[in-house]
A and B are shown apart, each in its own frame.
Chain A
Amino acid sequence: MANTLLEVKGLSVDYLGEKKAKALENVSFSVPEGSIVGVVGESGCGKTTLMLALLRLLPQAGRIVAGEVLFNGLDLVRLSEADMRELRWQELSIIFQGAMNALNPVKTVENQITEVLLRQDSNKAKASKRVDDLLEMVGIGRNRKSQYPHQFSGGMRQRAMIAMALACNPKLIIADEPTTALDVMVQAQILELLMRLRSELDLTILLVTHDLGVIAEACDAALVMYGGVVAEYASIDTIFNAPRHPYTQALLQAFPDHTKAKTQLISIPGYPPKLDDLPPGCRFAPRCSQVFSKCTMTSPPLLSYGEGFASCHLLENV
């Protein structure tokens, strides 16, 4: 059994505003060292908030109101801003969606990566060598390192982002929709790269995505989120072949699978809840096909069912 690198316990985040929004409530899961864990959910399910909360990069209105984020035993929630800044990039780094916006358009790719390196070690020759290694690792040819981001295609930019994230040898990489808006072929290239880097560099990756297919292809375990809470957390095989939460089950039936031509896709009626206007009880209750009276009254706790965890009242009777 591998060590647990990241453990999130009861994390809750509120957005303050005219109406308080409970963006995350009681989120718990753990990420073993060296694994790829997927975070999946529809828009507004809180996956972006979770990612920002882990990095302590929440927008001003966002507050962590409860919980712990243990990274190698260190509670990130209680860390000072300066220590947290130190930790970001060095120990845990980020790959953003839409690499065009995340890269500086007026600096060459080489310069941007060098900048990250020089922040901790001012040896220029060493940095230059390291940049070459990093670019080779992510598959960017040496002849392209002095180009600007706009000269890169979407896939190449994403590779540059990954090189930057790897610059300081982080232990954990949080990748936010790293393949969204890319073509399937490029997506396959990037996923292959991430999986290769994982085994070569012994990385741990938290892969945030809305695409169940990407989760199935790349991850070892998955965290299914719905309306700011954990719906289910289990190994990848359990999630796809024996899910226990009705939401996970419904999501799978709605997801197109080209190996099963012309089967009926079953949609989930209704819409995800608004975080500032949550239903009482279980947040999925209004759309759930297996709803019963208790669901609309109390919200279910996260229960263990052996192979995983799910927050559903149905599990209480077992």
Chain B
Amino acid sequence: MQGFWQAFKRNRMGVVGLSMIVLTIFIAIFAPLLAPYNPKERVRVTLDSIYARPSSEHWFGTDDAGKDVLSNFIYGARVSLTVGFFASFISVVIGGAIGLIAGFFGGRIENLLMRFTDIVLVIPDLPLAVVLVALTKPSLMNIIIVIGILGWTGTARLVRSQTISVKERKFVLRAKAIGAHPLYILRKHIFPLVLPLMVANTVLVISLAILNESALAFLGLGDPSTLSWGQMLNFAFTRGAMSSGAWWALLVPGLGIVWLVLGCTLLGQGFQQILNPRLESHHLQKSEMIALEAANG
């Protein structure tokens, strides 16, 4: 673990990604303290306060209902993060379980599970998510569940291949030779070694979930009782921000989504570089490769 942090500190991409995420989480937690206005508070709308330009009162202007965009944005981080974390948790649990079982038991079970994964993988998830959310009530909970149960395929494949490679290691055979039960081997010898990669993968799944939530909300399938960044975009887009030249109402939530997705991607890539250093080897000079080869051999 210590070695991991040592390596992580030297991985610039990972550190930048982590800082971006931590900053967003910080904003979400302290939203009531940071936001200049409360988005839930009723405001008396005058003609001037609709799509008002950025000013000292409203740093990022106001939206179609005369509300402060900055405050909406700060509170919106809560929704995006909530959906991101919980949906990816569901995905990783499903994908992890399927990957572990398929990889460990192999044979017919593996075939069945991986064909199922392939089927889910080829279905375009956004249209399906639209249908599912439209059929159920578009509540925050339903959105989380729908995104969660559609986003596990990548995790399943990754965990399966990692499980297979751990399974081939000799200490697993040794555990079999002492008479250990397969489930014991799975729990004690395989899962702990697959876990780090699963965690790294989770970060990438979070970014996917956030993007999916934004897309759903943008298409008008957000939870009406909350205001996520996607919904801010949706409102701005459908309620004439473009024609009023109110770029701030689109730009601010848009950048928020990009910021968070980028942060997650950087962190996830950083983790994977550390856990799976072979991915990096093509950056080495040829002579270094030869030297490495010799040193390894």
Contact = CB atoms under 8 A, between A and B. Distances in A.
A176 B292 CA distance: 13
B123 interface: no
Interface residues of B, number: 9
A59 B287 CA distance: 7
A98 B295 contact: no
Interface residues of A, number: 16
Contact of A98 (B287, B292, B297): B297
B295 A96 contact: no
Contact of B291 (A52, A98, A101): A52
A97 B288 contact: no
A102 B293 contact: yes
Interface string B273-297: 0000000000000011011111101
B287 A177 contact: no
A102 B293 CA distance: 8
A97 B139 CA distance: 62
A13 interface: no
B294 to A, nearest CB: 5
Contacts of A52: 291, 294
Contacts of B288: 59-60
Interface in B153-210: none
A57 interface: yes
A96 B297 contact: yes
* Secondary structure type dominating chain A contacts: loop
Contacts of B291: 52, 57-59, 62
B293 A98 contact: yes
Contacts of A60: 288
B63 to A, nearest CB: 54
B297 A101 contact: yes
A57 B284 CA distance: 13
A98 B288 CA distance: 17
A101 B295 contact: no
A176 B291 CA distance: 12
Nearest to B285: A60
Contacts of A51: 294
A280 B290 CA distance: 33
Interface in A55-76: 57-60, 62
A19 to B, nearest CB: 14
Nearest to B287: A57
The residue in A51, A52, A59, A177 that gathers the most chain B C-beta atoms within 10 A of its C-beta is: A59
A59 to B, nearest CB: 4
Contacts of B297: 96-98, 101, 176-177, 180
Nearest to B295: A48
A172 B52 CA distance: 81
A176 B295 CA distance: 11
A71 to B, nearest CB: 18
Nearest to A180: B297
A191 to B, nearest CB: 19
Nearest to B293: A101
Contacts of B292: 59
A57 B295 contact: no
A98 B294 CA distance: 9
B281 to A, nearest CB: 12
Interface string A22-55: 0000000000000000000000000010011000
Interface string A83-124: 000000000000011100110000000000000000000000
Nearest to B297: A97
A58 B293 CA distance: 11
10 contacts: A59-B291, A62-B291, A96-B293, A96-B294, A97-B294, A98-B293, A98-B297, A102-B293, A176-B294, A176-B297
10 tightest CB-CB pairs across the interface, nearest first?
Answer: A59-B291, A97-B297, A98-B297, A57-B287, A48-B294, A57-B291, A101-B293, A57-B290, A52-B291, A59-B288
